[in-house]
Structure 1
């Protein structure tokens, strides 16, 4: 259901999203639903099962499982077409050898995406992390809003603001690999759990390096670095941290302080300013940017909140539709 909703609300594939919603429905149950994407959903169901079967058997294709399911789990015509295609094009062999992976990479390099499409796909990637936890759902979008507002106050060009935007958007993408019980732990994390939590930065770098511009990647993965070298994951110091990286680091702190989390309530303005001053004086966060934010605090937060409204509206609609669809699908 979430896969369907992400594609519908946060991708250029909204018109085909329904195929994902039904790709686990058995062939003999389609008399209970109405969809224009039955064929695509049934193709995905079959190929999804082929992949799972191969993974569980070290790359060996279980022909019997597929053929026995024809007419009940799988569409008979697609099973027949798959077997013919495999005989003609050696699908299983090419999957195991890596030939198809190379082919996909070649195709991807030829794809031409508009800036709007790229932005939607990146939003889908970034916000999918937040949707795992009710407490962090608006953290990324708030960090983005605050970062862009600070860049605006510093008179950044449109191009530089865009780089700040993407760095902030992708800063927590590595949290996709952090267990939910750690993300939502209602208290102070143990040293072992904190060690796991901190790995999200390295994971973010592993995901982003080579996939986005280096300067955007560095903005994203340096948001926990401190000017005095006490941060992570590299322990960099002031001389190694650009202004853009410092902006997102401060925006990340502000977003975390302003929001309710599983382990704390939202901090009031006075407490947030106190924390910024303290971190600045201790040499953790950039004094110049902290002072700028403090001096324009109400305007920065109001504008950031305003920029978040559209996404939060999408989130509200998504959650309402999730409940509706869950109740519907559970009856199938």
Structure 2
């Protein structure tokens, strides 16, 4: 059965984070590695606990991924300290396999007084204060590449005076910086953090179920950027599963198909929300940006999954007549599993609500599938099987879609409740 190693999963997550903005490349793992180094000397957590904390810290900005540059993140820290931390907390709590560490995300922009007031567990409180400093330091270095150690220290200790940062945590960080200045401060050396972080995580024990949940977290974070796409990947995977059954795909290839479908829209992490939510057909530059998500997916996955999974993921917009993208492949060049993903992607899009349309009825979906088949776009074999079982597929897709929409609604409701408490918390 096809498996993806934990190290490959980490590289896929990091590669996805890198695509958010060129100015923020490496931010997540630099902060995570610093926190791991700072916490290991405290002896408050086991090695596996530290690894799980490192994964959560890696994703600490997951609630603000729509804000795509360093100036925005600095503004968030100064002006919107709670909003993206609150959404990130809710998302981490619902999706990751380590919800017990979600408060790390919730309070990573909070004052020391608020952290002390709200976080009862001493070890967790220490971890939050460490990420608070490591995150602030890295953002300062990113925004001022020529900043020296003395100036950085002065700025961090000034934030201590205002109660934003913990003095002991700043002292710990500056000591670490002194030990590894070329890693954390120098622009050339900062690239060295990635192999150090990956090397640290090699000794962490994460179950296969937890690894799958981590991948689902990244994929869901992309789909949940827009209320119109929250259902898409989940319904598309379910449709693939059914078509794989109906087409007689063996278990090993079903697993390969699962990962190919799971990763198919990974590159959309780099696509602006205004394009994802466009209310009309995309043209010109906007269409070229949208199409680029396929090549971005390739860049993230290449070397981290086998070629079968990679080709399934990056060929979901190809067509039997060669009119698809990005390579204009024809039916002779597309495997059965790739054709299943193509058909599944179309059905999921037709069955769901988008910014430019309402969900289509079952009869309308059948009509469009027939038209696309006779027009040479879709594989006749897979399409005929889909049409034969269309009602079962449609009901299953709707069931999954409704579950995803409910989850999206629940997350938004919880987030809004937390936002309502923001003014009260801010007084602490």
Matches within 5 A, 1:2-21: 2-21=87-106
Give the 3 Å change call, closer, same or farther, for CA 93–30 of structure 1 in structure 2.
closer
Three-state SS of the structure 1 residue aligned to 2:311 is: helix
Asked if 1:73 is matched to 2:164, the reply is yes
- Number of the residue aligned with 1:149: 242
In the alignment, the residues of structure 2 paired with residue 107 and residue 92 of structure 1 have an alpha-carbon distance, to the nearest angstrom, of 16
In the alignment, the residues of structure 2 paired with residue 283 and residue 99 of structure 1 have an alpha-carbon distance, to the nearest angstrom, of 50
**Which range moved further: 100-109 or 196-205?**
100-109
- Number of the residue aligned with 1:87: 178
Matches within 5 A, 1:113-192: 113-192=206-285
* TM-score normalised according to structure 1 size: 0.93
Residue 317 of structure 1 and its aligned partner are, at CA, apart by 2.8
Three-state SS of the structure 1 residue aligned to 2:319 is: coil
Three-state SS of the structure 2 residue aligned to 1:223 is: coil
Q: CA deviation digits over 1:265-308, x for unaligned, max 9?
A: 11111111111111111211100110101111111222344455
Asked if 1:28 is matched to 2:113, the reply is yes
In the alignment, the residues of structure 2 paired with residue 17 and residue 58 of structure 1 have an alpha-carbon distance, to the nearest angstrom, of 30
Pairs aligned (count): 332
In the alignment, the residues of structure 1 paired with residue 373 and residue 351 of structure 2 have an alpha-carbon distance, to the nearest angstrom, of 18
Which residue, 307, 320, 328 being the options, matches 1:235? 328
Matches within 5 A, 1:93-104: 93=185, 96-97=188-189, 98-104=191-197
Contact 2:116/2:125 (<8 A) preserved: no
- Number of the residue aligned with 1:55: 142
**Which range moved further: 308-317 or 226-235?**
308-317
Three-state SS of the structure 2 residue aligned to 1:70 is: helix
- Number of the residue aligned with 1:300: 393
Three-state SS of the structure 1 residue aligned to 2:321 is: coil
Which residue, 31, 38, 42 being the options, matches 2:125? 38
Contact 2:318/2:325 (<8 A) preserved: yes
In the alignment, the residues of structure 1 paired with residue 404 and residue 372 of structure 2 have an alpha-carbon distance, to the nearest angstrom, of 30
Give the 3 Å change call, closer, same or farther, for CA 7–147 of structure 1 in structure 2.
same
Give the 3 Å change call, closer, same or farther, for CA 198–35 of structure 1 in structure 2.
farther
Contact 1:167/1:220 (<8 A) preserved: yes
In the alignment, the residues of structure 1 paired with residue 389 and residue 167 of structure 2 have an alpha-carbon distance, to the nearest angstrom, of 65
Q: CA deviation digits over 1:29-51, x for unaligned, max 9?
A: 34653453322221111100111
Three-state SS of the structure 2 residue aligned to 1:137 is: coil
Give the 3 Å change call, closer, same or farther, for CA 320–35 of structure 1 in structure 2.
farther
Give the 3 Å change call, closer, same or farther, for CA 95–116 of structure 1 in structure 2.
farther
- Number of the residue aligned with 1:263: 356
Contact 1:86/1:92 (<8 A) preserved: yes
In the alignment, the residues of structure 1 paired with residue 342 and residue 134 of structure 2 have an alpha-carbon distance, to the nearest angstrom, of 43
Three-state SS of the structure 1 residue aligned to 2:160 is: coil
Greater relative contact order (Cα < 8 A, sep 6+): 2
Which residue, 122, 141, 154 being the options, matches 1:64? 154
Asked if 1:322 is matched to 2:415, the reply is yes
Asked if 1:283 is matched to 2:370, the reply is no
Residue 109 of structure 1 and its aligned partner are, at CA, apart by 4.2
Which 5+ residue runs of structure 1 have no aligned equivalent?
Answer: none
**Which range moved further: 150-159 or 315-324?**
315-324
* TM-score normalised according to structure 2 size: 0.73
Which 5+ residue runs of structure 2 have no aligned equivalent?
Answer: 1-85
Asked if 1:195 is matched to 2:301, the reply is no
RMSD: 2.0
Q: Which runs of 4+ in 1 moved over 6 A?
A: none
